[in-house]
Amino acid sequence: MKSFFWIVLSILFVGCGENKPTESKKTSDKNIVSALKQKLEITNERVILLPEAQEVTSEWLAYITAQSEIENFRNYTLNDVIANATPITEIMQSLMETLPPTLQSNAVEARLGVLVTKAKILQQLAGKRTLDPDQIAKTAQEIPTEFNNFKIQLNELFLKTLEQFEEELDSIDNDEPIQKAKPELKNRPNKRLPPNLQRNRNSI
C-alpha cells in the first residue's frame, strides 16, 4: 500500500514539473505577441538635401523608393517591420547598385554599405523561429538614422571647401576697385582747349 502511495505521488510531481515549462512558454509567447504590436520609435530628425543634391536624387528611382520606405517607418509596428524586412533589404541593395556616377565616392559608398548591412541583419532577425522584439526594434531604429547619415554624406559632396570660399572672396575683392573706378571715368569732365588752339582747330 505504501509503495502504491509513493508511485502515485511521484507521478503527480512529474506531471506538475512538465506543466511549468509549458505555462512559462505560453506567458513568453504572449509577451512577444504584445511587444510586436508596439509602434516602432525612430528618430524625428530629418536631413534636407542641398538643391544640387536634390537635382540628382529627384531622378534616381531607387533613392525615391528608399526615402518613401524610411517615411513608412514612422507608422510601422514591429509586425510591419518583420513583414517588410525582405523588401527593405532589396530597396537598400538597389540603392547601392544604382548609385549615379556624380554621387560616387568612398564615403557615400561606405554609408550605403552600412545601410545594406543593417537591412540584412533585420531580415535575419525577422526570419528566426523565435523572435526577439527588442533586437528587431533596435536594428529597425538604426536604419532611418543611417539613412540620415547617408544624406549628410550626399550633401558634403556639394559643400564648397574653405579654399573655394577664399578664392571667391579674393576674386570679389579684386573686382571691387575696377568696378569703383568705372564711374569715376564716366564722370570725369572733358578738358577744354585753350582759345588759341581752338581757333587753330577750327581753321583746319
Tens digit of pLDDT for each residue in 55-105?
A: 999 999 999 999 999 999 999 999 999 999 999 999 999 999 999 999 999
Average pLDDT, the chain: 81
Quickly list H helices, 98-132. 106-126
Task: Looking at mean pLDDT, say which of 15-19, 146-150, 185-189 comes out highest.
Answer: 146-150
pLDDT band at 186 (very low <50, low <70, confident <90, very high): very low
For residues 131-169, b (16+ Cβ closer than 10 Å) or e, as one string?
bebeebbebbbbbbebbbebbebbeebbeeeeeeeeeee
pLDDT of residue 184: 47
Residue type, 117: T
Whether the Cβ atoms of residue 118 and residue 143 lie closer than 8 Å to each other: yes
pLDDT of residue 163: 63
115: helix, coil or strand?
helix
pLDDT of residue 34: 86
Tell me, yes or no, if the pTM score tops 0.75.
no
pLDDT of residue 7: 52
For residues 5-42, b (16+ Cβ closer than 10 Å) or e, as one string?
eeeeeeeeeeeeeeeeeeeeeeeeeeeeeebbeeebeb
Residue type, 29: D
